Chain A
Amino acid sequence: MRVRVEQTPLPGIGVRHDLVTSSGRTVGVVSHRNGRRDLVLYDVDDPDSSLASIPLTDDEAEALADVLGASLMLGQLAGLRQQAAGLLTEQIALPAGSPYVNRRLGDTRARTRTSASIVAVLRDREVIASPGPSFLFEANDVVVAVGTREGLDGVTAILAGDH
């Protein structure tokens, strides 16, 4: 399950990261010292050679990382739902007047009180996966929680400040 990313220094240029996917293809990223990044796809017949090298700006790299990261997370959640009947996933927006804006996730004690887990937070189209107890909530955060129906209702109530 764990992915091995190999790091190779490129003296005078920057650094290259690459990984071999389970389908046997190699994908790499060349990070230049001046901040430029190239997405590199390798040849099947000659895995030493790159088929294409696509330069990405900072914004493009971030957007691509978002897309790839988010789809991975949603895929995992969908899998979880199939595994355990009765377990639900829900996105809960932090209400504007929530007492937990600017407070830590640990302060909600949501898991202890409702047995539902907060598995991710969506903020500004960004996914923050597995936030720890010291994670600080901000206004407009959307919480992704996994639990039973009652548990999720409990989390919704806690975040709204009803408890």
Chain B
Amino acid sequence: MHGTTILLIEVGALLFALGMLGRLGRRVGLSPIPLYLLAGLAFGHGGLLPLSASEQFIEIGADIGVVLLLVMLGLEYSAGELVGNLRASARSGVMDMLLNALPGAGYAFLLGWGWQASIVLAGITWVSSSGVIAKVLGDLGRLGNRETPVVLSVLVIEDLAMAFYLPLVTAVLAGAGLIGGVEALAVALVTVVAVLVVAIRYGHAISGFISVRDPEALLLSVLGLTLLVAGVAAQLKVSAAVGAFLVGIALSGPVAYSASQILSPLRDLFAAVFFVFFGLSTAPADMPPVLLPALGLAVLTMVTKVLTGYLAAKRVGIALPGRIRAGLALMPRGEFSVVIAGLAVASGLEPQLAPLATAYVLITVVSGPLLGRLPDYAWFKALIRRFAGQGTSVRAAQSY
């Protein structure tokens, strides 16, 4: 058969299988991310059904997937929102970083990995999945809750922090050493601040270039601009993902809204390809030895996330049940952890990292949303009430 024919068959079968899996997941209330990762494991080298002809296509698709994931994330926030959030919740953000990145870094040292790998693992355990968490909060009807803004602002700060973390990791992984990493960090800092200032001052002007009227032109111009800036950013060693994120932030108002509407099916497609690709790069045979370490790391960093949410909610005067809800909601790790691990895999660092990250994300992204439901059960509420009754009463604690 012709090469293209096999490619069509493989890609078609893969996407169809993903569609079925996603539907299954939705029925049982599961995010599609773990299913896509598992599908990647099944299709990868040494898996059940290795793909041959479409690997290159999937690799390019995965790169585009990361870019689209990030531009959509940027489109969700306006520059003003980011800066306002940074001002209001910077302390929660720093606490979040200390409580969740340090255990990851320490764990890598414990496993006997180098400092590069420990920087990577720190990022993997640091960042919660804003996509999964926003979905869970919506599904559980918690968007109106008073602790929800706390959860969201932790997510926003993590996402913004990625604009600095990703260039640092990219430089470190490229073998630039610590000084190269700091250099990349400085470049990223200048770029991000410049983009934020320009977006706040001249946001309408940038968005004015792009018309909302014609959906086709809007799709092509926004997608083109995003890929272009992502490519230039990668060339400048600021990481393509960050370039895309900044494009999303710079666009505002109706253009941002229409663009996110129009790009979201594309994002769904290529993000699925991206998660599968990451699964592909892991051989299923490498998984069993890392399962236990991954479980240990997951338990450790899920506890630290609960603590993060608890403390962040306490700072703004939320009562005990709300603090626990905020903490449990923050547990799932997802797309960013996979993006970070993907960078490390591409550079050939530490062969155990990819299977560990896969297992880690699978554990947290499946158990996190399930545990996040706990506070809705009557026995759990009663438990908290009894616990709270011993100290100050729940009512007295709501003094704001």
Residues of A that sit less than 8 Å from B by CB: 8-13, 16, 18, 28, 30, 33-34, 38, 40, 42, 45-50, 52-53
Contacts and interface: CB of A to CB of B under 8 A. Distances in A.
B282 interface: no
B385 to A, nearest CB: 8
B153 A50 contact: no
Contacts of B143: 10, 13, 16, 30, 38, 40, 53
A12 B75 CA distance: 9
Interface string B68-83: 0000000011000110
A11 B81 contact: yes
A8 B149 contact: yes
Given A10-B143, A48-B325, 7 more contacts: A11-B153, A13-B134, A18-B144, A45-B395, A46-B394, A47-B398, A53-B143
A11 B144 contact: no
Contacts of B381: 46
Contacts of B84: 9
Contacts of B322: 46, 48-49
A16 B398 contact: no
A34 B153 CA distance: 20
Per DSSP, chain A at the interface is strand
Contacts, number: 76
Interface in B13-48: none
B156 A11 contact: yes
B257 interface: yes
Given A9-B84, A12-B77, A38 B156 contact: no
Contact of A50 (B130, B142, B319): B142
Given A13-B134, A46-B322, A47-B398, A52 B148 contact: no
A42 B155 CA distance: 24
A162 to B, nearest CB: 51
B156 A12 contact: yes
A50 B77 contact: no
Contacts of A9: 81, 84, 149
11 contacts: A10-B152, A11-B85, A11-B149, A12-B77, A12-B152, A45-B385, A46-B381, A49-B325, A50-B141, A52-B141, A53-B141
